[in-house]
Amino acid sequence: MTTLQESATYQEIKSQPEAWAQAMEVARAARVPDLRDYEQVVFTGCGSTYYLSLASAALFQELTGRAARAAPGGELLLNSQVFLTGQRTLLVALSRSGTTTETVEAAKKFKAEQRGDLMVISNDDQALSRLADGNIVIPKGREESVAQTRSFASMFVAVSALCARMAARDDLLSAMMGLPKIGARLMEQTESYAKEIGQDLRFDRFYFLGSGVRYGLACEVNLKMKEMTLTHSEPFHFLEFRHGPMSMVNEKAVVVGMVSEKNLRQERAVLNEMGLLGGKIVALAEADADVSFHSRIPEIGRAVLYLPALQLMACYRSLAKGLSPDRPKNLTAVVQLEL
């Protein structure tokens, strides 16, 4: 049985602020694509990095006002006509290892068809990076564990910084430099709470609610709960949760809300309703929440702060169930296929 001290996942979660700092550094130094050169922007990845793509596309669109979409690497490979038009495209490929088969092959196809330019954000300088017209590598985000935690967060920080630069938001970029210090402080302040919820095995289902940029992050932390703990878990947009899924809420359910400032009243109302149904409510927000950031960073630049406490919650639950958070059942760190 894996102990907390033996868990690589735990160490990777706790050490991630250092990777965030490097992500900011390399993103600030990277060549920024000129958006006037492209008619569409597509983010792609597989598994966790597909969820990262969902968050990244929403963040890019909110910051720049330019339309963007996300596509799974496998779908971009097999059904590219659904996601790519004849327009000149900036494809942003996200991959922890840089060797995931579907993402690499989709990038090769994209380049062979001369559809536009490829930008790669990863934690390792591998096959995918070598295809790129622009490249961001964050070595300090590398991991031993199968489930992505530090790597995902470091790539999301890099994407956020890159989007801020493309939007000419130097003010936001400067504010984001405080993220590593705030992230480290936040983990120290909230770890005991994450442990308390994670180790409570009376709960048998988790629902993660997030809207806008936060929906992709809700998908990701839902995946962490599934991978590490083999627990029933699902992500939803806040208001969508009322349309059927709330029928599953009872005293065994944890409903996690990634609350925004913009939609505070509506999102709090959903959480209050789920509490009346018996669910255990866990709210994360800038202030007045179970996990409060107190970051003073603009909302669009601080979304990574939703991740650490929820990653820790999944890690502690995995250990409480006698599982290994480092080696989830049936999974490998990199998916490589014969295509």
Packing angle between helix 150-166 and helix 16-29, nearest 10 degrees? 30
* Distance from the Cα of residue 230 to its chain's centroid: 19
Domain identity same for 146 and 204: no
User: For residue 5, what pLDDT band results from cuts at 50, 70 and 90?
Assistant: confident
Is 256 part of any domain?
yes
Domain identity same for 62 and 120: yes
Q: What is the mean pLDDT of residues 87-91?
A: 95
Of 129, 145, 176, the one marking the end of a domain is 176
Domain identity same for 168 and 241: no
Domain identity same for 201 and 103: no
Domain identity same for 129 and 259: no
In this prediction, residue 328 carries a pLDDT of 76
Provide the mean pLDDT of the chain.
95
CATH number for the domain harbouring residue 205: 3.40.50.10490
Domain identity same for 169 and 228: no
Domain identity same for 130 and 215: no
Which is more confident, 6 or 258? 258
Is 338 part of any domain?
no
Domain identity same for 113 and 184: no
Q: What is the mean pLDDT of residues 109-114?
A: 94
Domain identity same for 25 and 124: yes
In this prediction, residue 330 carries a pLDDT of 60
Of 123, 149, 176, the one marking the end of a domain is 176
Is 45 part of any domain?
yes
Is 126 part of any domain?
yes
pLDDT of 257 over the 80 cut: yes
In this prediction, residue 337 carries a pLDDT of 54
User: For residue 282, what pLDDT band results from cuts at 50, 70 and 90?
Assistant: very high
Which is more confident, 339 or 172? 172
Domain identity same for 195 and 93: no
In this prediction, residue 208 carries a pLDDT of 98
SS (H, E, C) the chain: CCCCCCCHHHHHHHCHHHHHHHHHHHHHHCCCCCHHHCCEEEEEECCHHHHHHHHHHHHHHHHHCCCEEEEEHHHHHHCHHHHCCCCCEEEEEEECCCCCHHHHHHHHHHHHCCCEEEEEEECCCCCCHHHCCEEEECHHHCCCCCCCCHHHHHHHHHHHHHHHHHCCCHHHHHHHCCHHHHHHHHHHHHHHHHHHHHCCCCCCEEEEECCCHHHHHHHHHHHHHHHHHCCEEEEECCHHHHCCHHHHCCCCEEEEEECCCCCHHHHHHHHHHHHHCCCEEEEEECCCCCEECCCCCCHHHCHHHHHHHHHHHHHHHHHHCCCCCCCCCCCCCCCCCCC
User: For residue 336, what pLDDT band results from cuts at 50, 70 and 90?
Assistant: low
Is 297 part of any domain?
yes
Strand 68-72 with 116-122, pairing = unpaired
Give the domain range for residue 60: 8-176
Domain identity same for 35 and 163: yes
Please state the domain count of the chain. 2
pLDDT of 233 over the 70 cut: yes
Of 160, 176, 192, the one marking the end of a domain is 176
Is 81 part of any domain?
yes
pLDDT of 250 over the 80 cut: yes
Is 334 part of any domain?
no
Is 192 part of any domain?
yes
Q: What is the mean pLDDT of residues 151-164?
A: 98
Which is more confident, 195 or 86? 195
Give 44-58 pLDDT, tens digit per residue: 999 999 999 999 999
User: For residue 287, what pLDDT band results from cuts at 50, 70 and 90?
Assistant: very high
Query: Cβ neighbours of residue 1 under 8 Å, at least 6 residues apart?
Result: 322
pLDDT of 172 over the 70 cut: yes
User: The pTM is what?
Assistant: 0.95
Give 208-219 pLDDT, tens digit per residue: 999 999 999 999
In this prediction, residue 4 carries a pLDDT of 87
Domain identity same for 54 and 130: yes
In this prediction, residue 34 carries a pLDDT of 94
